[in-house]
A and B are shown apart, each in its own frame.
Chain A
């Protein structure tokens, strides 16, 4: 039986939870009040010991990423950037933090800046989140007014300025280096990967980028300790995640749960089961860039990185798209590939041309003008898109194609064999 654990979402259900008053009544900024009791190194060590993993989809260890910011870098300023470009289909958890508990995020940002020696932080928010941006900006204004942000944060001799930077409609800007390109005023083209471990760079200055929820988890770890976080989740995926449900469930939404929770129990407990008493057909477990799970696979799945990897998929953002028996998987793949086609930045040849070609072939299959060679063609193109581009956008598309075509081949064949008739 699932027990509710609320680390990031603990204030979500309070009325007016986005206001400073309510947030402070319920514990916001305590870690900043007592900042003098902590050292930057102590904060980094706690984050490292907590095993916190990036909650934007990649799941990379946060502590190790923070460690890359250590050093003098010739005295260049350090920056903290929060990735609020949440655009992964099926994913809407960060939007909940922005609109329901923006002060938790601000608190996390203050701790992160203090730990890393940064004084300027930015929140890159997707352009479509306009209303959520208004709430967030209001919270920032309140925090400035209350002296929580600004020249001396809560009276401490430490400056933090926080600026919201609005995107303008580009999924790829959720990729950290594309995001920084965008924040430098350029097209959102991901950068070539560095040849050694190093931080990100914003106008040539060392920069940390973390997802909204990752940063929002930091206050808990700092105040309650690494072990308190580790008591939830699994050994390798410690803590919790704001998982999300959409598609054919009775109660779609965002619900925090520990890593390792059974996927089916989660759907039952939080989602209220499949809509209209239907039968589960498939689940896309962690946003549109994770390979689909069949109902059988979903029955074995646990919501952690290792379990999902074991099933040939990925935990991704934890945004689950649940599909019942009524779903046509060819249409579903077409829908996803239209997304990839639309969102490819166009920089690398395999991605730019591959996503469009796959989309066109699927359109032809749906129009019942396809032939059996098309399935092989889809898998061939997918192979060319995998592992040959600057970023992981094309490899993600590739894994999505492979899983759909292989696991639901009969559905594709039905379009190909009827030769015109349904």
Chain B
């Protein structure tokens, strides 16, 4: 806090607050429940929804707390019959032209309107259905965002996001009065790389993700904190997944997780949709050239090659691996007198990068690679070298190699078959640390339960390492 805190009384209890802020954000941070639509932490308040009313001693009328400055000694009431009636009445007006179609609305379960109704409303509808206004539904705004104008409460969070955050200004409020609606310019669409954030910002079911809608009811979803692997920015995300009977534990979406140091409350659309890569085209079987092998047989052959062949060994590591995995590869390299590289050039993608949350460095742990002292150049390779390729995008150039791969090789790229190919589980199946391009280290929890027997990289490497090799951890701790 930049200034001295002051004491105010809220619902009879004295609390210390920051007088530089408005009342609403301060009270929300202190755990008070005050309904609000237009106020949003990253976007600030607009003052249009009128939901966040509180009573202030000495003021004749209820005040919107998002625009009430904090004054030392003020007495605030957020509860009580009269203020709750005010909220109930305003909420009722939000609902008069709302279709109340929760059973078929994707937002159900994470809808502010629904939550507030359960908390403050619970009245019998007074609205004659014939009196409701009707607006357009399922409008494709582009960028995977669908708009249902009837469900909109006109809080303008989406408009303000495109105006104040991305500065792309695709959206506006058009019309007037109760015929106002959110729209793009006719014939145009959302075109910014962060557009899907509006589906998170929308407090109701007016803006939903085309990718997620109708896929899963949100109350069946479990949420695990993680980090996006889409680039070196390392945006914090929540991974929503569900395991239903007879089905694999499945990821349904990535959502931004608040991390003020990195991504605030937002992520890019590419990162948001990258969850698909963690569960499609996964490699499930071991191969010798193109012949399917049992897992045990493949491991035996790999051991044989490593110990019997006389080629010098080079390990090519994916720079998206967790720091723990990279450290284990270092130990592996020591054990087999191999050279370890994590060539970074392959991850350089200027077309992807921007000046906000998208980095041209597409490897999630490039910084971890550097801190562990792993060589980042591409070594000169030929078939007199045995290459152990761990998910590296350029790891398939020579024939004398063993692949440890998460995804099935892309059939469209020219690729010499490896001598041996062993699957490893995708990153959402294991846990570990990543260091982003600004040096911020974050931990990713294991998200998914095991759906298939594919081992993780660490499980694979365990077959080759001395269990007592403490240097793995030592080396990692030094790096971090």
* In the assembled complex, A103 has its CB within 8 A of some CB on chain B: no
Give the complex CA separation of A158 and B60 in angstroms.
46
- Tell whether A352 pairs with B154 under 8 Å between CB atoms, given A342-B177, A344-B177: yes
Contact-residue size bin, chain B (C-beta under 8 Å from the other chain) = 20 to 34
Once the chains bind, are A357 and B48 in contact (CB under 8 Å)? Answer: no
- Tell whether A349 pairs with B89 under 8 Å between CB atoms, given A344-B178, A356-B177, A357-B127: no
Smallest Cβ-Cβ distance to B94: which chain A residue? A349
Residue picked from A348, A381, A383, most chain B C-beta under 10 Å: A348
Smallest Cβ-Cβ distance to A342: which chain B residue? B177
- Tell whether A187 pairs with B173 under 8 Å between CB atoms, given A350-B93, A384-B90, A388-B62: yes
Once the chains bind, are B176 and A357 in contact (CB under 8 Å)? Answer: no
* In the assembled complex, B183 has its CB within 8 A of some CB on chain A: no
Residues of A381-398 contacting chain B, CB below 8 A = 381, 383-384, 387-390
Give the complex CA separation of A387 and B82 in angstroms.
14
* In the assembled complex, A235 has its CB within 8 A of some CB on chain B: no
- Tell whether A170 pairs with B94 under 8 Å between CB atoms, given A360-B131, A389-B50: no
- Tell whether A346 pairs with B93 under 8 Å between CB atoms, given A192-B47, A388-B62: no
Once the chains bind, are A346 and B175 in contact (CB under 8 Å)? Answer: yes
Q: Mark B133-165, 1 if CB is under 8 A from A, else 0.
A: 100000000000000000001100000000000
- Tell whether A388 pairs with B90 under 8 Å between CB atoms, given A346-B176, A349-B50, A353-B96: yes
Q: Mark A366-386, 1 if CB is under 8 A from B, else 0.
A: 000000000001001101100
Once the chains bind, are A349 and B177 in contact (CB under 8 Å)? Answer: no
Give the complex CA separation of A357 and B127 in angstroms.
8
Once the chains bind, are A383 and B89 in contact (CB under 8 Å)? Answer: yes
Give the complex CA separation of A89 and B266 in angstroms.
48
Residue picked from A345, A350, A361, most chain B C-beta under 10 Å: A350
- Tell whether A349 pairs with B176 under 8 Å between CB atoms, given A364-B131, A383-B89, A388-B90: no
Contacts of B86 in A (CB 8 A): 384, 388
Once the chains bind, are B154 and A346 in contact (CB under 8 Å)? Answer: yes
Contacts of A377 in B (CB 8 A): 126
Task: State the Cβ distance, A416 to closest chain B Cβ, in Å.
Answer: 15
* In the assembled complex, A347 has its CB within 8 A of some CB on chain B: yes
Task: State the Cβ distance, B128 to closest chain A Cβ, in Å.
Answer: 7
Contacts of B49 in A (CB 8 A): 348-349
Smallest Cβ-Cβ distance to A189: which chain B residue? B48
Once the chains bind, are B178 and A356 in contact (CB under 8 Å)? Answer: yes
* In the assembled complex, A182 has its CB within 8 A of some CB on chain B: no
Give the complex CA separation of A383 and B62 in angstroms.
13
Q: Mark B86-106, 1 if CB is under 8 A from A, else 0.
A: 100110111011000000000
Residue picked from A345, A361, A380, A388, most chain B C-beta under 10 Å: A388
* In the assembled complex, B69 has its CB within 8 A of some CB on chain A: yes
Q: Mark A326-365, 1 if CB is under 8 A from B, else 0.
A: 0000000000000001111111111011111100110010
Once the chains bind, are B178 and A347 in contact (CB under 8 Å)? Answer: no
Smallest Cβ-Cβ distance to A388: which chain B residue? B50
* In the assembled complex, A195 has its CB within 8 A of some CB on chain B: yes
Give the complex CA separation of A419 and B127 in angstroms.
20
Once the chains bind, are A341 and B177 in contact (CB under 8 Å)? Answer: yes
Give the complex CA separation of A346 and B86 in angstroms.
19
Contacts of B133 in A (CB 8 A): 356
Give the complex CA separation of A350 and B93 in angstroms.
6
Give the complex CA separation of A14 and B86 in angstroms.
55
* In the assembled complex, B180 has its CB within 8 A of some CB on chain A: yes
* In the assembled complex, B51 has its CB within 8 A of some CB on chain A: yes
* In the assembled complex, B463 has its CB within 8 A of some CB on chain A: no
* In the assembled complex, B53 has its CB within 8 A of some CB on chain A: yes
Once the chains bind, are A357 and B96 in contact (CB under 8 Å)? Answer: yes
Contacts of B47 in A (CB 8 A): 192, 348, 390
Contacts of B61 in A (CB 8 A): 387-388
Give the complex CA separation of A342 and B179 in angstroms.
9
Contacts of A387 in B (CB 8 A): 60-62
* In the assembled complex, B67 has its CB within 8 A of some CB on chain A: yes
Pick the 4 closest A-B CB pairs, nearest first: A356-B178, A353-B93, A346-B180, A384-B89
Given contacts A192-B47, A356-B178, A387-B60, 17 further A-B contacts (CB under 8 A): A192-B67, A341-B178, A342-B177, A344-B178, A345-B177, A346-B177, A349-B153, A350-B90, A352-B154, A353-B93, A353-B96, A353-B178, A356-B97, A388-B50, A388-B53, A388-B61, A390-B48
List 22 A–B pairs whose Cβ atoms lie within 8 Å, in order of A's numbering. A170-B176, A195-B69, A344-B177, A345-B177, A346-B173, A346-B180, A348-B50, A349-B49, A350-B89, A352-B178, A353-B94, A353-B96, A354-B93, A356-B177, A356-B178, A357-B93, A357-B127, A360-B128, A387-B61, A388-B50, A388-B53, A388-B90
Chain A residues engaging chain B, CB cutoff 8 angstroms: 170, 187, 192, 195, 341-350, 352-357, 360-361, 364, 377, 380-381, 383-384, 387-390
Chain B residues engaging chain A, CB cutoff 8 angstroms: 47-51, 53, 60-62, 67, 69, 86, 89-90, 92-94, 96-97, 126-128, 131, 133, 153-154, 173, 175-180
